[in-house]
Amino acid sequence: MSISAYIISYLTLWTSVLAFGLALCRLKVSNYKYQIMLSTIPLPIMAVVTQYFKQAHWFGLLQPIALTLCYWKIFNFRLFHAFLVGLSVFASGGLSETFFNWVMAGFHIEQSLLNQQTDRGIMAVLMAGYHVGLYFILQHYRIGFSFIAPSRLPSINQQTYPRSWLYLNLGFLCSLGLFNLAIYFSKTLYFVFVTLSIICWLVVLYISYIKEIHD
């Protein structure tokens, strides 16, 4: 794709991804329009520059960190909340991209891995539609983390979280990075890192849910 096509595709995709992250926190896009507009400036640029220098295999680390910074500094979430949401939405995007590539490759794993190394406009459209659909589902059924709140609230700032939460999230971030590297360099490790990512993600979700209902 051309640079202009990259920017348009990523602009659409990042908007839907950020909206999904808000829905995951039981928040509405209408209350964060300006934050979304501001966030969609650096995120597509980061993605295009990474692609331009042929460093897309680092997306598994760069994109979750970029999302975390946006939710933290622009949306004003607490750092840990921003980290949790950033990992969540990136994992959702990565799994949806893997699934769509697998389907479009005729359920052929090797071909789907090759396709995942190439950016196509249709993939951005499919992923954007997927996240928009998730946004409306989460909003309709009120599914998500209710403890997510802006960091400016004193009561939220005083909350503490088990150190295991940080370790699990860092482990999940490493798993995502290794998973992305495996796609580009080692197909035999593909399923190993998928499994690690899913296990870490399920553990984080479980602990988050237990913490929420106890509060």
Confidence of residue 124 (pLDDT cuts 50, 70, 90): confident
Residues 172-200: pLDDT tens digits? 777 777 666 666 666 555 666 666 776 77
Q: For residue 33, give every residue at least 6 positions away whose Cβ sits within 8 Å of its Cβ, in sequence order, or none.
A: none
Rg (CA), the chain: 17
Cα–Cα distance, 110 to 129 (Å, whole number)? 25
pTM of the model: 0.77
Ranges assigned E (strand) in the chain: none
Residues 20-79: pLDDT tens digits? 999 998 899 999 999 999 998 888 788 777 777 777 777 777 888 899 999 999 999 988
84 pLDDT higher than 90:
no
Asked if residue 59 lies in contact with residue 50, where contact means CB atoms within 8 angstroms, the answer is yes
Phi, psi dihedral angles at 6 (to 5 degrees): -60, -50
Q: What sign does the CA torsion over 136, 196, 83, 36 have?
A: negative
- Domain boundaries along the sequence of the chain: 3-214
